[in-house]
Amino acid sequence: MIIPCIDLMDGKVVQLVQGREKALEGDSPEEMLRKFAAFPEIQVIDLDAAMGRGSNGDLVRFLASKAVTRVGGGVRSVERARELLDQGAHRVIVGTAAFGPMGVNVEFLARLDRERLIVAVDSKDGRIVVKGWRESTNLSAEAVLRELEPYCSGFLCTYVDKEGMMQGTDLDWFRRLRAATSLELTAAGGITTIEEVRALQAMNVHAALGMAIYTGKLKLEELLL
């Protein structure tokens, strides 16, 4: 499955490089919904909420009510996760709150609806990063997937090292992750070519696409073939 991404910041659809520098702005949320209407699912991330500097709650609510969405960004409480589901999100993505000082935050994850939960396991320099990718943990993605499996229905794994850089991704990393879990796996971060998308699909790994779509490097028509 190919999952287009709508990332929100300051009330606009944006694309960032490595979660820091804004590279471009997309069309309005309504127009992006129209463009992505043929895809079975859309990923919506509230970047302001992820970074702890506000939210785009009204836009998230609007998008979740209009399409099949997986929604993330700043989901750090059970109440927030349930609120998003109540607003229409198909599934909720949790990243930062899934991890604590001692490793996996089992107490928190056990209180969520497993079938509606995706855990974001985002990696930079070989370590899981949290809080809008601004803090590094001492955990590796490969090491924690099995421990997380009882609490979620799938993983969103972003290769932050190449996120938004249009330089390709690390297919070997995704192969290792695929070997480490039997659950649904979605790849993100640096996916630039149709060959990479097909390689991921051959591994039974979904592709979440942002910058390559917004810059026109990957055409929506070819992705729907």
Residue identified by tokens 């409480």 is 77
How far apart are alpha carbons 61 and 53 in whole angstroms? 18
How far apart are alpha carbons 55 and 52 in whole angstroms? 8
**Which regions of 109-214 does DSSP assign to beta strands (E)?**
117-120, 123-124, 127-130, 135-136, 154-158, 184-188, 206-209
Burial 43-73 (b: 16+ CB within 10 A, else e): bbbbbbbbbeeebbbebbbbbbeebebbbbb
- The single residue of 48, 86, 113, 122 carrying the catalytic annotation is 122
- Closest listed residue to residue 222, CA positions, set 202, 196, 184: 196
Q: 122 catalytic, yes or no? A: yes
Catalytic residues: 7, 122
